[in-house]
Amino acid sequence: MRNVDVLLHRDFEIGVTDKRLFGAFIEHLGRCVYNGIYEPGHKTADKQGFRQDVMALVRELAPTIMRYPGGNFVSGYNWEDGVGPVKDRPRRLDLAWMSTEPNSFGTNEFIDWCRMADIEPMLAVNLGTRAGDAARNMVEYCNHPSGTTLSDLRRKHGWDKPHDVKFWCLGNEMDGPWQMEAKTATEYGRIAVEAAKMMPWIDPSIELAACGSSGRSMPTYGAWEQTVLEHTFDHVEFISLHTYINNYAGDTPAFLAACDLMDSFIDEVVAIADAVAARRRSSKRIMLSFDEWNVWYRTRRNRQERVLPGWPVAPPILEEIYNMEDALAFGGACISLLNHADRVKAGCLAQLVNVIAPIMTETGGPAWRQTIFHPFAHFSNFGRGRVLRTQIDSPTYAANYYDPRGPQELYFPVPAAPNLKLSAVHDDKAGMLTLFALNRSLTEEMPLRVAAKGFGNLRVEKALQLHHADLKAINSKAAPDKVAPTALSAVRIDGEHVHATLKPASWNVIRVNVAK
Ligand code: AHR
């Protein structure tokens, strides 16, 4: 491949990454909670049943905010079922995942788990089978200090101090027919705005995210965002976006181009939100919460397939095993999120453990890292700072990405996907410039030359690559490190240029010390 050139300057930035961009998601689904983060009796479990081997991997992964308790699950959830003495909590049928929910883990346990992991909690309220009244009561239970029935109930349950949860999602994917009590945009907009009025009347410090479309290929996409924001604009800070990248078509170049469509998705939602603002002559800017994103297709199920005999507790569903090419597509999504740091102010990898997850556990056994663990850990640990504008001169390829979400089967053309997908993040405090670089060519090495202007002296601190000759290579309990980062050698500095050679189909992280 010919030289691929990147030009950036210290002073030209897209935006600063918000701490909340690096979040993840725990849903009551399959073995995410039960036998995932929580497994009383496991040899590493503490007295609350929190697996400490999982906790150690979570710390390494470094998510910053955690969405809970759903997902589809939340649209039928009574938050009251998950608080109070465990022996008194009801067992319920969960119609989202056709399982039995024992409720032995609930909001208070989740908050304790977050505090232990040093992660900010993000709670979703049920706007499917319930509405504003349940939502305001949940805020009062969680955040009101004391002196009312609900706040004193929390104290009686053993949590004296308010949980002080700042980030609240107004339901989940309410546009999706698979959702319990799905709604039209107008129906949802009305319910959401009433909840969004009452919740901050209890605690004015909270921030709210309205549901956007559950995917860019939904038939109501665009119109949904517009109508929902027309109702909620004055009462919310965020609109949500969800994307699950797939390779159903077995077309790896198109799979790796899907993150370019994520870029379009973000740009379009920004445009719609700003159009709603413009009609009001408002300078308020609605920020984006990309609160579900990942690669997911092998274990997707329709409602019929979800019917499991006997309504099991924590069945092993959606346990997607990720391969090398999934990690590449996933890395591309990380780059898309970074490159929209000006407007995407929250993000959640869906999900954290066992369910379409970077961390897998054996019930009663060990925990291990999936291939996608690695790009996320790089993204979160090294992606904090000022994202710089980049000019990229790279060969491109044409792709046609297939996305069957929604009732229609759709192809989305990407006429010119650059072989190089890149983001550059400057952490001024640490004196570090980090380049996240994905070589999307499956066959050719990429000679990369980055002109990093305005920094002065450059010194390579560390360079890593994720590459495997077999794009279908996976990690497993038996071989947990088959796909793992290795050193990227021969990165060199020549004046203000960083030079590297990127393997075909590789994810690369180059850390350049730019401290004066
Ligand atoms: O993350 C799995 C599911 O995907 C979530 O429950 C839902 O919100 C989405 O459709």
CA of 72 to the centre of ligand 1 (A): 6
495 C-alpha to center of ligand 1: Å? 48
Residue 490, CA atoms < 13 Å, CB-side half-sphere: 7
> What is the atom index within ligand 1 of the atom nearest the CA of 351?
1
Catalytic residue (one of 173, 194, 225, 325): 173
Residue from 120, 292, 320, 325 carrying the catalytic annotation: 292
Q: Which two tokens stand for residue 314?
A: 């924590």
Residue of the CA atom closest to atom 6 of ligand 1 = 71
Burial class (CB in 10 A: 0-12, 13-18, 19+), 177: exposed
Confidence of residue 405 (pLDDT cuts 50, 70, 90): low
Q: Is 173 a catalytic residue?
A: yes
The position carrying tokens 């949590």 is: 159
Helix axes 223-232, 185-202, angle to 10 degrees: 40
Q: pLDDT per residue over 308-327, tens digit each?
A: 789 999 999 999 999 999 99
| 295 vs 471: CA distance, rounded Å | 15
For ligand 1, what atom is nearest to the CA of residue 292?
1
| Predicted local confidence at residue 494, as pLDDT | 96
Instruction: Assess whether the C-beta atom of 406 lies below 6 angstroms from ligand 1.
Output: no
80 classed as catalytic: no
What amino acid occupies position 406? G
Ligand 1 center to 71 CA (angstroms): 5
Q: Which of 67, 122, 174, 242 to mutate to test the pocket of ligand 1 (most atoms within 8 A of CB)?
A: 242
Q: Do 498 and 437 touch, CB atoms closer than 8 A?
A: no
Q: Is the CB of 30 under 6 A from ligand 1?
A: no
pLDDT in tens, 212-268: 999 999 999 999 999 999 999 999 999 999 999 999 999 999 999 999 999 999 999
For residue range 154-195, what is the model confidence (pLDDT) as tens digits? 999 999 999 999 999 999 999 999 999 999 999 999 999 999
What is the pTM (predicted TM-score) of this model?
0.97
Buried b / exposed e over 346-367, threshold 16 CB at 10 Å, is bbbbbbbbbbbbbbbbeeeeeb
Please indicate whether residue 72, judged by its CB atom, sits closer than 6 Å to ligand 1. yes
Q: Is the CB of 71 under 6 A from ligand 1?
A: yes
- Assess whether the C-beta atom of 292 lies below 6 angstroms from ligand 1: yes
Question: Within a 13 Å sphere around the CA of 272, how many CA atoms are in the beta-carbon half?
Answer: 22
240 CB within 6 A, ligand 1: no
Instruction: pLDDT band for 302, please (50, 70, 90 cuts).
Output: low
Distance, CA of 446 to chain centre? 29
* Protein residue with least CA distance to atom 4, ligand 1: 71
Per-residue model confidence as pLDDT tens digits over 472-506: 999 999 999 999 999 999 999 999 999 999 999 99
Please identify, by atom number, the ligand 1 atom nearest to the C-alpha of residue 294. Answer: 1
Q: Which atom of ligand 1 is nearest to the CA of 172?
A: 8
Question: What secondary structure, in 3-state letters, does 318-378 show?
Answer: CCCCCEHHHHHHHHHHHHHHHCCCCCEEEEEEECCECCCCCEEECCCCCEEECCCHHHHHH
User: Which ranges of 105-232 would DSSP assign to H, the alpha helix?
Assistant: 107-117, 132-143, 149-156, 185-202, 223-232
pLDDT at 80 over 70: yes
Q: Indicate if ligand 1 lies below 6 Å from the C-beta of 94.
A: no
Burial class for 229, CB neighbours closer than 10 Å (0-12, 13-18, 19+) = buried
The pLDDT assigned to 407 comes to 53
3-state secondary structure of 116: helix
